[in-house]
Structure 1
Amino acid sequence: MSRTVPVRALALAGAVAVLAAGATACGASADDDRHPDHRSFALTGRTLTVDSDDSALEVVTADTGGPGTVRVTRWFEGSTVVGGTPRTTWTMDGDRLVLRMTCSGVLTSCSARHRIEVPRGVAVKVEDGDGSVLAQGFAEPLTIRTGDGAVHVRDTSGPVDLTSGDGSVRAEVTSRRVRVVTADGGIDLELGAVPDRVDSQSGDGSVTVALPRAVYRVSTASGDGTVRVGVPRDDTASHVVSVRSGDGDITVRTAN
């Protein structure tokens, strides 16, 4: 005994298949948003935490119109074939800027990007679950944690502490204290001023550290890779550099 599949069900299945192929071929990109949203948030105190679940972030210092004002620009594109309407939210809770994206259902495709302008003199901590982070212009302490995404810091003189669960880390800074850890990704550091301490560790990736001319106390260890140290070394030097890689080459050299 056979059972006939209704024509409507077949048509729906075919439509979903076509939409699935289209969604797979062309995912959403926040860069396609030609009309981004803008909002300003009041900030009390001298610290800011950016709490994002799923967005690319650009965090910069800027003259924001007031010492207690954070300006945010948001780009967002999203679609679902079957399910709820994609959306993003942004709220300020004390000194914590919370950015969230909701994109659930069948055949979803969503992408968000935020530019966050921070008043000068504010220490910043970034917590991003999934997305790349670019930060620049900070003289105060800067801490970045991303679960899955590359990190790039430049034009920064305050202490930096950078961690990526899965992504490369690059820094071009004049900071005196630098700490970088990535579980899976390469590390590329270029120091524009003689640092007091540099700690750099990659679970799986090569590490390059470029330093100004000075004498350093250097320690290195690589589980599987070549180690090259081309800076003057002295075990009693006050400038300390520690580089570790579980699987990757290590290069410590003098900056050009």
Structure 2
Amino acid sequence: MQLNHQEAETMNHSRTRTIITLGAVAFLALAATACDPDADQANTAPESKSFAFSGDSLTVKSTSADLDLIAADVDDIEVERRVSGTKIGGEIDAGWQYEDGVLTLSVDCDGVSVNCDAKYTVKVPRDVAVTAEYGNSAVQVSNLGGAALHLEGRDGTVQGDGITAASVSVVSRNGDTDLDLTSVPDRVDVQSQDGNVQLGLPASAYAVRTAAKKGDVTVDVADDSTSSHRVNVQTRNGDIDISEGASS
């Protein structure tokens, strides 16, 4: 059947209205789900998994999920995750995999979703050296005391307490760094493009180097260029505060 111009235009307008209406219905349904305090209960229950571990070092890779790293009296790598949010047309995907000393954690929020989020809590054996590579996420570390602790990411805050690692390094693009060390380190190195840096160190003499393009610098520890305990902190935009904030 051949449609004239007017009939074809009317049909196209009808299709457009249908698409807009369906989109609006989907959006309203998603918005209603986001406002319902009980809507995410089905996918917020924690899941746990253990990975057999041997060795003295671990690398953790996390794309965009928040990450807690905790040293504990465990033999294996113990992981708990919480996934929350709502996604139209499917479930939010999260994954965990351990192979050859690398623990990979992920969450997939692609598509239309509301409050899509995941948080992983990772317990590691004490005295294990930990490297964490992360994307856009918050990172919390507690009581890590291996030979080295290295954190490297793009955007997100880094907080740490009870750290006894001999060597501590943080490389961050955007986000504040706040670390509290409870034993005198051999070396601390923090590099941030945009973010405040706060270090709490046990009482000792340190060879301190700082650089802040835009921001205030406060050093409230004994500064001795000949000390074997070296502290290097650099940030482009942000304040630097190095003080006695912990005791050995």
Q: Do they fold alike, i.e. is TM over 0.5?
A: yes
Structure 2 unpaired stretches of 5+: 1-5
Partners of 1:30 and 1:151 in 2: CA distance: 27
Q: Trace 1:115-154 onto structure 2 (pairs within 5 A).
A: 115-140=121-146, 141-154=148-161
* Counterpart in the other structure of 1:184: 194
Is 1:168 the counterpart of 2:158? The answer is no
Partner deviation per Cα, 1:160-201 (whole Å, 9 max, x = no partner): 11122211100000341211112111111110242xxxxxxx
Q: 1:18 aligns with which of 19, 28, 31?
A: 28
Q: Residues 209 and 231 of structure 2 are in contact (CA less than 8 Å); yes or no, is this contact kept in structure 1?
A: yes
Q: Residues 85 and 103 of structure 1 are in contact (CA less than 8 Å); yes or no, is this contact kept in structure 2?
A: no
SS at match of 1:104: coil
* Counterpart in the other structure of 1:246: 236
Partners of 2:84 and 2:199 in 1: CA distance: 33
Q: 1:105 aligns with which of 106, 111, 122?
A: 111
Tell me the percent identity: 29
Partners of 2:57 and 2:224 in 1: CA distance: 38
Code of the aligned partner of 1:223: K
Partners of 1:133 and 1:182 in 2: CA distance: 15
Code of the aligned partner of 2:143: G
Partners of 1:251 and 1:95 in 2: CA distance: 34
Partner deviation per Cα, 1:54-106 (whole Å, 9 max, x = no partner): 21111101112xx3x11111111232224x43211111112111112223223
Instruction: Give the greater-gyration-radius structure (CA).
Output: 2
Q: 1:52 aligns with which of 53, 59, 62?
A: 62
Give 1:109 shift: 4.2
Change (3 A) 1:106 1:220: closer
Q: 1:80 aligns with which of 80, 87, 93?
A: 87
Q: Trace 1:62-77 onto structure 2 (pairs within 5 A).
A: 62-64=72-74, 67=75, 69-77=76-84
Structure 1 unpaired stretches of 5+: 195-213
- Paired residues in the alignment total 232
Q: Residues 200 and 242 of structure 2 are in contact (CA less than 8 Å); yes or no, is this contact kept in structure 1?
A: no
Partners of 1:126 and 1:110 in 2: CA distance: 22
Code of the aligned partner of 1:42: A
Change (3 A) 1:135 1:218: closer
